[in-house]
Structure 1
Amino acid sequence: LLLVAAQTHCSVYSPSVWEFSSERGVKHFYVNTYHYCNHTKKAMESETYVLRNGHTWSVQDIPLEANGQHLGCVKITLKGSDATNSLECGNFRKNWTKGTCHVHGRAVYYIVKIYPNIYTYNRN
């Protein structure tokens, strides 16, 4: 399942992805893996427990992995001349401890911040 970078309804199977800010050559996205990501600042005030940097020169997929923990709210920043395109996320598996986001652009640096769950859910 893939979603484009637009506000959509949250579901158990695929999260909404939305662009919350855009500057020249830099775009910021939230991946709302839980409904509360979009409704409370508390969800993204704690320290990140996964921080990943990379680029899309050879592969446009960004792996999301929370070291065996549930993916909490996710913030993705795209930088570069190709960072004007959309971001799609899906393929959430292993009880939402893994997923993938696909960037439509080859010359993009990315920063992924995964915040811990603030509630306990079993999302098989």
Structure 2
Amino acid sequence: MLQLIARTVATALAVALATWLIPGITLVGEHDTKRVLTLLAVALIIGVINAVVRPVVTFLTGCLVLLTLGLFLLVINAAMLLLASWVAEKLSLGFGVDGFWPALWGSLIISIVGALVYRVLNPERRG
């Protein structure tokens, strides 16, 4: 349970940084509490998509991943962020990604920063 909370908080912080750095990624909310709750909800959406949809897509595009020596995984990550944005839009959360390039750069930031923050927050993984 603690790992799930740490992963969600890490992803939410990474999404917050991506919305601050990448012009095409937006987060809208009337007040700070609404924006924080939106970030946590988007982090949960990203977690579910990465657990359910991403493995299927990676399996189905395995030949492209191998052919590009893994670079196609960047495209898959961008597509997963676009999917998370679409789900957030359908849930009226106030989070959006405006196209492929912001999704690509945003997914890179979310992946790297999320992993680093999770490493700091998760006490069971410290070595």
- TM over 0.5, shorter chain: no
- Could you say which structure has the higher helix fraction? 2
| Greater radius of gyration (CA) | 2
- Could you say which structure has the higher strand fraction? 1
TM value normalised by structure 2: 0.28
